[in-house]
Chains A and B, each alone.
Chain A
Amino acid sequence: MSDAALPTGFAVARVAASLRDAAVAAGLAAVLAFFFLALRTDIATGGLTITTRWFLFGTAVMLVFFGRLLLNLFFFKRGTGAERAVVAGAAVLAAGIWSAIGAAGFGAGLRSMLIGMVAAAIVVAILALVSHWRGGGAQAAGDKALKAAGMPRISILTSWLGKALFAFAVILPFFFAYFFPKQDRQYIDLAILIMTYIMLGWGLNIVVGLAGLLDLGYVAFYAVGAYSFALLAQNFGFGFWLALPLAGILAGCWGLVLGFPVLRLRGDYLAIVTLAFGEIIRVVLLNWYDFTNGPDGISGIPKPTLFGLEFKRGEGGFADFFGIAYDPIQRFIFLYYIIFCLALLTNFVTMRLRKLPVGRAWEALREDEIACRSLGINTTNTKLTAFAIGAMFGGFAGSFFATRQGFISPESFSFLESAIILAIVVLGGLGSQIGVVISSVVMIGGIELLRNIGFLKQVFGPEFEPTQYRMLIFGLAMVLIMVWKPRGLISTREPTAVLKERKRIGADMVAQGEGH
């Protein structure tokens, strides 16, 4: 049934309801914004002075009003195309007029008017696109044939995306060295950072995505891995390649230690206890001064070598051995390939484990623990293996982190790290490997990208400090993604065994396990 077939009375009632709703929202915004935006107190000699900022106040209220109205018509109540066009036009017009008033009455200049127009136009364009896209999606969902035709297309898309990303990751350091020779070090460093988070995300994906156990203290394993390597190097002179497996094993053992007490816990309690364990590790590292050097951290952690060849200038180094010119970038390229291989190993093992009985048991555990027990699966061991293997990869990543930084201190292993890793997994889609890659690039790359938003100064004026808004923009982007895709970017599940035809399983069927 098309919108045109609806009775006119209904459409009018809908617009009226949308307007009413938007007015209420704007009223609320006005009350809240009055004290925060309209009035400003400044410390002056002899006390406080109040300055009023009516233009800012009015802008905020209008933004809320039109934003709410557009949301109503585009998402909540699904207005007709004509209604949307009228309201969108009105929004742009109002923004323009308001900016002009601002320009004339408040002396904010021509620039602010332009900003208003541009911002409104962008918002409308985004909403129209999203609404068009969602409308298309809803139609496909309604039509079985279209859905059946659409599913493989998406599947092919993600599989090609995976291949393309992999190919790009292989040539990445040379790509940057060739095309951006001035900034190659910066970009490769960023790629190393992203790759580390991809690996951590894949490791945590085993625990959270496959076994469905919400772990808020994953950074503990990262810390155990990093400190294992640092202490082994400092006290026993171990090199990177010898310490790497040991760090993984030690972190895996810590995973078992952490796994035992949390076995019986479910839901929120599981999340809280894992969070506490993560903090315990950090606090111990901070306070056990004799062993860990406390807040001073450990420095002088050896760099990795290529079969004994160090990446240094002069005699016996990598460049000297191969008879090429020394360039500090060589070490970064090497580091990049180490973390790339470690991440690939994580991915390979995880994909392999998913198709083995233990991986299927993890997923079955996420789906229904009681049914697992009735089928003779030892849920204790299954949970412990998930914790231990996830922790082991965290440990590998940790020892890489230590060798890359050359210096570690407990500061690097705060709860924020756990939160970022978990956010990567959730944003990418629980259990999805490619989702973790995309969300790592978006999150870590995005945070870094927002450091370089100097161009916003040209829009908002020289006194605008873009880095201050970095986390705000980032948070907004995350909220938008979760509104748009509540189960993560890639939310479908690939079956691990296929009889005739590979079909993807929609997110609505897949359980999320404990703590969600």
Chain B
Amino acid sequence: MSATSPATTGVRRWEKDPILTVEHLTMRFGGLVAVGDLSFDVGRGDITALIGPNGAGKTTVFNCVTGFYKPTEGRIVMRHGPGANDALVERVTQSAAQHAEAGGSSVFLLERMPDHLISNKACVARTFQNIRLFGGMTVLENLLVAQHNSLMLASKFTFGGIFGIPSYRRAENQAREKAVYWLEHVDLIDRADDPAADLPYGDQRRLEIARAMCTGPQLLCLDEPAAGLNPRESAELNELLQFIRAEHGTSVLLIEHDMGVVMEISDHVVVLDYGEKISDGSAEEVRNDPKVIAAYLGVDDEAEIDIPEVRADISHGKQPAAGEAGGDSAAGGGQ
């Protein structure tokens, strides 16, 4: 694998203190290799973008990280607490355990955990490319369902809750306050009692982010959060993500096609093409990486021939649909 991160020397910020490490991740569906030997880091407190042309395997990576797919090969490590914690990671990997704790920091091997524990214990929350809200439940209920595990504990697994013990009532009030807090920050407080299916598209996107945040995540995975948003809504989304990071210290991993969003807010961009990483670095570096320009942002024909890597790719028959990518660059990359 040839990850060409041009310029800069030394250890990168996200390598020093990664919250999530994806190592040699491979996902095969029958004969199809959707993701092949992919490794990258997500820095703690960073906004990391995973980009690539359609079908590059971005959502597959997401599904592996959040436990919806079991990866064919590879290791996905989630860390609570600072530092890379390599010794602890090795110890868990050698044992049969899913996670281990030492000195206030814990390590989770996500490829070994079922999806609901990844959200519950490893504190990884996600949204979906095609919005998955509880349409027949109100906006407020959606946010209360997201706090299921803490409420379940408070209700003593229902046995206490059914008799209305005071500690459950307190917990429920706290849960409502948390929901109200997030409703205010995604500007949906006036629609709290409306069914989620009734909201306009942009509101649904924001509600899904609020719902994910109500689980109290350390890593928030957003699958194309700006898809279908108008420029004003995109700008609001940027602000929301900046707020989430600044106020809650939540690291964000996002898949995005909207280059405006990606370039403006990402600290770190990983570029995928055909399930392999073709570039990894800061937004600026990736933007100027000729492989990325060729594969994703698109270049005109003469320029393509002049880039050696692109020529190599063409000779390997791996040239992506330039016309489609070119359209993307005209909309997003040209700013």
Instruction: For A495, give its contact among B125, B137, B148, B211 (CB under 8 Å).
Output: B137
Identify the closest chain B residue to A385 (Cβ).
Answer: B158
Q: In the complex the two chains form, is A379's CB within 8 Å of B162's CB?
A: no
Closest-CB distance, B119 to chain A (whole angstroms): 3
Instruction: For A361, give its contact among B135, B145, B180 (CB under 8 Å).
Output: B145
User: Could you say which residues of chain A place their CB within 8 Å of the CB of B118?
Assistant: 376
Judge if A262 is at the interface, Cβ distance under 8 Å. Answer: no
Identify the closest chain B residue to A366 (Cβ).
Answer: B136
User: Could you say which residues of chain B place their CB within 8 Å of the CB of A485?
Assistant: none
Identify the closest chain B residue to A507 (Cβ).
Answer: B136
Judge if B294 is at the interface, Cβ distance under 8 Å. Answer: no
State A497–B135 Cα separation when bound (angstroms). Answer: 15
User: Could you say which residues of chain B place their CB within 8 Å of the CB of A495?
Assistant: 137-138, 140-141, 193
Judge if B204 is at the interface, Cβ distance under 8 Å. Answer: no
User: Could you say which residues of chain B place their CB within 8 Å of the CB of A505?
Assistant: 136-138, 195
Instruction: For B125, give its contact among A349, A374, A506 (CB under 8 Å).
Output: A374
Closest-CB distance, A300 to chain B (whole angstroms): 36
State A349–B163 Cα separation when bound (angstroms). Answer: 10
| Contacts A353-B158, A356-B161, A363-B137 given; does A376 touch B193 at CB 8 Å | no
User: Could you say which residues of chain B place their CB within 8 Å of the CB of A364?
Assistant: 134, 137, 145, 148
Closest-CB distance, A288 to chain B (whole angstroms): 35
State A460–B78 Cα separation when bound (angstroms). Answer: 79
Q: In the complex the two chains form, is A509's CB within 8 Å of B116's CB?
A: no
Judge if A358 is at the interface, Cβ distance under 8 Å. Answer: yes
| Contacts A497-B176, A509-B135 given; does A374 touch B194 at CB 8 Å | no
Interface membership of chain B positions 99-134, coded 1 if the CB is closer than 8 angstroms to chain A and 0 otherwise:
000000000000000011111100001101000111
Judge if A514 is at the interface, Cβ distance under 8 Å. Answer: no
Q: In the complex the two chains form, is A358's CB within 8 Å of B134's CB?
A: no
A-B contact count (CB 8 A): 139
State A358–B115 Cα separation when bound (angstroms). Answer: 19
Q: Which residues of chain A (345-393) have a CB below 8 Å from chain B?
A: 349, 352-353, 356-358, 360-361, 363-364, 366-368, 370-379, 385
User: Could you say which residues of chain A place their CB within 8 Å of the CB of B141?
Assistant: 360, 363, 495-497
- The interface stretch among B149-157, B243-251, B272-280, B299-307 is B149-157
User: Could you say which residues of chain B place their CB within 8 Å of the CB of A510?
Assistant: 135-136
Judge if A313 is at the interface, Cβ distance under 8 Å. Answer: no
Identify the closest chain A residue to B183 (Cβ).
Answer: A499
| Contacts A374-B66, A374-B128 given; does A356 touch B148 at CB 8 Å | no
User: Could you say which residues of chain A place their CB within 8 Å of the CB of B151?
Assistant: 356-357
User: Could you say which residues of chain B place their CB within 8 Å of the CB of A503?
Assistant: 138, 193-195
Closest-CB distance, B74 to chain A (whole angstroms): 21
Q: In the complex the two chains form, is B134's CB within 8 Å of A356's CB?
A: no
Judge if A493 is at the interface, Cβ distance under 8 Å. Answer: yes
Q: Which residues of chain A (133-190) have a CB below 8 Å from chain B?
A: none
Closest-CB distance, A376 to chain B (whole angstroms): 3
User: Could you say which residues of chain B place their CB within 8 Å of the CB of A370?
Assistant: 68, 128, 132
User: Could you say which residues of chain A place their CB within 8 Å of the CB of B135?
Assistant: 367-368, 509-511
Judge if A86 is at the interface, Cβ distance under 8 Å. Answer: no
Number of interface residues of B (CB under 8 A): 45
Q: Indicate the member of B125, B145, B155, B212 with the most A CB atoms within 10 Å.
A: B145
User: Could you say which residues of chain A place their CB within 8 Å of the CB of B197?
Assistant: 509
Judge if B144 is at the interface, Cβ distance under 8 Å. Answer: yes
State A493–B198 Cα separation when bound (angstroms). Answer: 14
State A493–B146 Cα separation when bound (angstroms). Answer: 20
User: Could you say which residues of chain B place their CB within 8 Å of the CB of A373?
Assistant: 67-68, 115-116, 119
Judge if A5 is at the interface, Cβ distance under 8 Å. Answer: no
Q: In the complex the two chains form, is B148's CB within 8 Å of A501's CB?
A: no
Judge if B240 is at the interface, Cβ distance under 8 Å. Answer: no
Q: In the complex the two chains form, is B155's CB within 8 Å of A375's CB?
A: no
Identify the closest chain B residue to A367 (Cβ).
Answer: B134
State A493–B193 Cα separation when bound (angstroms). Answer: 12
User: Could you say which residues of chain B place their CB within 8 Å of the CB of A497?
Assistant: 138, 140-141, 144, 176
State A500–B192 Cα separation when bound (angstroms). Answer: 8
Q: In the complex the two chains form, is B119's CB within 8 Å of A374's CB?
A: yes
State A366–B134 Cα separation when bound (angstroms). Answer: 9
Closest-CB distance, B165 to chain A (whole angstroms): 11
Judge if B60 is at the interface, Cβ distance under 8 Å. Answer: no
State A509–B135 Cα separation when bound (angstroms). Answer: 6
Judge if B21 is at the interface, Cβ distance under 8 Å. Answer: no
State A502–B141 Cα separation when bound (angstroms). Answer: 12
Interface membership of chain B positions 266-301, coded 1 if the CB is closer than 8 angstroms to chain A and 0 otherwise:
000000000000000000000000000000000000
State A200–B176 Cα separation when bound (angstroms). Answer: 34
Q: In the complex the two chains form, is B161's CB within 8 Å of A357's CB?
A: yes
User: Could you say which residues of chain B place their CB within 8 Å of the CB of A363?
Assistant: 134, 136-137, 141
Identify the closest chain A residue to B117 (Cβ).
Answer: A376
Judge if A498 is at the interface, Cβ distance under 8 Å. Answer: yes
State A375–B208 Cα separation when bound (angstroms). Answer: 11
State A356–B118 Cα separation when bound (angstroms). Answer: 23
User: Could you say which residues of chain B place their CB within 8 Å of the CB of A375?
Assistant: 119, 125, 145-146, 148, 211-212, 215
State A497–B134 Cα separation when bound (angstroms). Answer: 14
Instruction: For B152, give its contact among A349, A357, A374, A379 (CB under 8 Å).
Output: A357
Q: In the complex the two chains form, is B137's CB within 8 Å of A376's CB?
A: no
Identify the closest chain B residue to A508 (Cβ).
Answer: B197
Q: In the complex the two chains form, is B137's CB within 8 Å of A356's CB?
A: no
State A356–B68 Cα separation when bound (angstroms). Answer: 27
Identify the closest chain B residue to A359 (Cβ).
Answer: B158
User: Could you say which residues of chain A place their CB within 8 Å of the CB of B116?
Assistant: 372-373, 376-379
What are 6 A-B pairs with beta-carbon distances under 8 A?
A358-B158, A360-B141, A364-B145, A375-B212, A379-B116, A505-B138
List 7 additional contacts besides A367-B134, A500-B193, A502-B193; criterion CB under 8 Å.
A356-B162, A371-B128, A375-B119, A375-B146, A375-B211, A505-B137, A505-B138
Q: Which chain B residues have a beta carbon within 8 Å of chain A's beta carbons?
A: 66-68, 115-120, 125-126, 128, 132-138, 140-141, 144-149, 151-152, 155, 158, 161-162, 176, 180, 189, 192-195, 197-198, 211-212, 215
Nearest 4 pairs of A and B residues by beta carbon? A510-B136, A376-B119, A376-B120, A367-B134
